[in-house]
Chain A
């Protein structure tokens, strides 16, 4: 029996795994499993699957791309102590297949995540354009946390646009919108004044306000002295 799904795949790859001795591979694998156990503990078991890969592991998050990003960042932090990890995140199609007790997942979701993890340098996290779009869909605005990190072509000559997390990205976006807000305020109010100035027949705005609210006039007098 097979079932399809679309989910976020966090591919955690142990750097230079193939070149290490088998005993070191076994040690690093055990360390990675411990890290995964810790970082997946806070996620609802209904929403995550852990897969084994030859040189690492893949974690599929079914519901929330934000959780995938958080998980990958936590895994890299947790693994910093002696576990050389790289991480690739992708959002894509997956297929569950296999008999009961021996299920596995295939699909572009995994393949791209694995390729991106391969491309990432040690202790670095890279995400695909598809994941950034999924993040934007789940939480509009959060995608600003992923900034462009370049393009690369994998072994299958497929081009990938990759993004890396940058917390400053969100802050920059917030500042940009604040600046835009100030600009809009100045523009609209300035336009109002300009409109008024170009229509000479109308009394000056301040005179109109003072006439309407006498205490504003008194306030203006006090300020002058």
Chain B
């Protein structure tokens, strides 16, 4: 790939758009239709057996993706193979990907929900046709100038089997955006994409990384074991319904997650209406739709995530005031509020338990009477 390519198949290379682990993305011209396309090249493995398998899967996925024609999915026009390299000709979009947008400019809450709604809509369409993305992440969502979001690289995660292998099975996708079932190597379906979109939505809304760690294992542990902090806790002012939508999309158990991306899109539509209402009510300050931006090159961790079970940290309610009790707990001496229940002894029971006390008095009188009868 060192020498400059001028033509791939019938496509004439105009410019290089980017490079990735799988290959290079070019801006190319299709002379037959006289239109510009994005040409994604994928280097096929050299090993003959692997090559055959890879090639077969590539064309299968490309065919499936080629059938998707939706305003929120990047259209695949063509695919082919040339000199050990597979390529995909796709719709060329003017704009930036969501990852770049989040780090450079930030996303307002309104935009975040709108983008997620559009992506959910696109995913719903693909899922209906049996196509699962498997790698929904900000880098795979393109935004054009008009605020339209488009999902890229449908099915390409399958092509990257070598990227993340585990001893238990094949793991496909980008670790930070994987679903728990993807991590454990179980078969994935549309609900896995919903989980990944939930992470993207969370990160857009809060400007923090939801699942992070120093290595893949830490990230995976975090995805499978920890609960997120509700977005309204990180960014006060977001509508409460956002919490429910995000929580449902991020359920660890796919059975209780959104079962359908359209369902998620419908709930996001309701959130949008609420956000627009808030925006209209607070037009001058514009507080409710503040832009959150991820710092470029630096991972901002989400607030400490809550572990399930015994480490579960429940936040003090914002709606019912508990400040008096909090103050009391903070000011209490070390043993004032930490007394454990004692076993109730006989004496305490006689003194404080009415039924036992009555029995005790009766027993005393009866004993005295018996004694009197016997001895007097």
Using a CB–CB cutoff of 8 Å, the interface residues on chain A facing chain B are 1, 3-7, 18-19, 21-23, 25-26, 29, 33, 36-37, 40, 45-54, 57-58, 60, 62, 91, 93, 96-98, 102-108, 110-111, 114, 130, 133-134, 136-141, 155-156, 173-174, 177, 180-181, 184-185, 187-193, 195-196, 205, 208
Cβ contacts under 8 Å, B322 to chain A: 45, 48-50
From DSSP, what is the main secondary structure of chain A's interface residues?
helix
Cβ contacts under 8 Å, B317 to chain A: 33, 36, 50-52, 57
The answer to whether B358 and A177 have CB atoms under 8 Å apart is yes
Cβ contacts under 8 Å, A93 to chain B: 338
The answer to whether A33 and B319 have CB atoms under 8 Å apart is yes
The answer to whether B344 and A137 have CB atoms under 8 Å apart is yes
The answer to whether B325 and A49 have CB atoms under 8 Å apart is yes
Using a CB–CB cutoff of 8 Å, the interface residues on chain B facing chain A are 227, 230, 233, 240-241, 244-245, 247-248, 251, 256, 263, 267, 270-271, 309-322, 324-326, 328-330, 332, 334, 337-344, 348-349, 352-356, 358-359, 362-363, 365-367, 369-376
Cβ contacts under 8 Å, A195 to chain B: 370, 373-375
The answer to whether A22 and B245 have CB atoms under 8 Å apart is yes
Cβ contacts under 8 Å, B248 to chain A: 18, 22, 25
Cβ contacts under 8 Å, B363 to chain A: 181, 184, 188
Cβ contacts under 8 Å, A139 to chain B: 352
Nearest CB of A to B207, in Å: 17
Cβ contacts under 8 Å, B356 to chain A: 140-141, 177
Cβ contacts under 8 Å, A37 to chain B: 319-320
Cβ contacts under 8 Å, B328 to chain A: 46, 62
Residue in contact with A188 in the complex, picked from B320, B354, B369, CB distance below 8 Å: B369
Cβ contacts under 8 Å, B318 to chain A: 52
Nearest CB of B to A50, in Å: 4
Assuming the contacts A29-B240, A174-B355, asked whether A110 and B312 have C-beta atoms less than 8 A apart, the reply is yes
Cβ contacts under 8 Å, B320 to chain A: 33, 36-37, 40, 50
Residue in contact with A103 in the complex, picked from B321, B326, B359, CB distance below 8 Å: B326
Nearest CB of A to B248, in Å: 6
For the complex, what is the distance from the CA of A21 to the CA of B256, rounded to whole Å?
11
Can you show 9 pairs from A to B with CB atoms below 8 A apart? A22-B267, A33-B317, A52-B317, A57-B317, A106-B310, A141-B349, A141-B353, A177-B359, A205-B376
For the complex, what is the distance from the CA of A7 to the CA of B314, rounded to whole Å?
15
Nearest CB of A to B29, in Å: 46
Residue in contact with A50 in the complex, picked from B230, B263, B316, B367, CB distance below 8 Å: B316
Cβ contacts under 8 Å, B343 to chain A: 133, 137
Cβ contacts under 8 Å, A108 to chain B: 310
Residue in contact with B313 in the complex, picked from A29, A47, A105, A130, CB distance below 8 Å: A105
Name which residue of chain B comes closest to A102, CB basis. B315
The answer to whether B309 and A21 have CB atoms under 8 Å apart is no
For the complex, what is the distance from the CA of A139 to the CA of B317, rounded to whole Å?
30
Assuming the contacts A52-B315, A195-B374, asked whether A140 and B309 have C-beta atoms less than 8 A apart, the reply is no
For the complex, what is the distance from the CA of A196 to the CA of B334, rounded to whole Å?
61
For the complex, what is the distance from the CA of A213 to the CA of B288, rounded to whole Å?
94
Assuming the contacts A3-B330, A192-B372, A208-B376, asked whether A47 and B325 have C-beta atoms less than 8 A apart, the reply is yes
The answer to whether B355 and A189 have CB atoms under 8 Å apart is no
Cβ contacts under 8 Å, A47 to chain B: 325
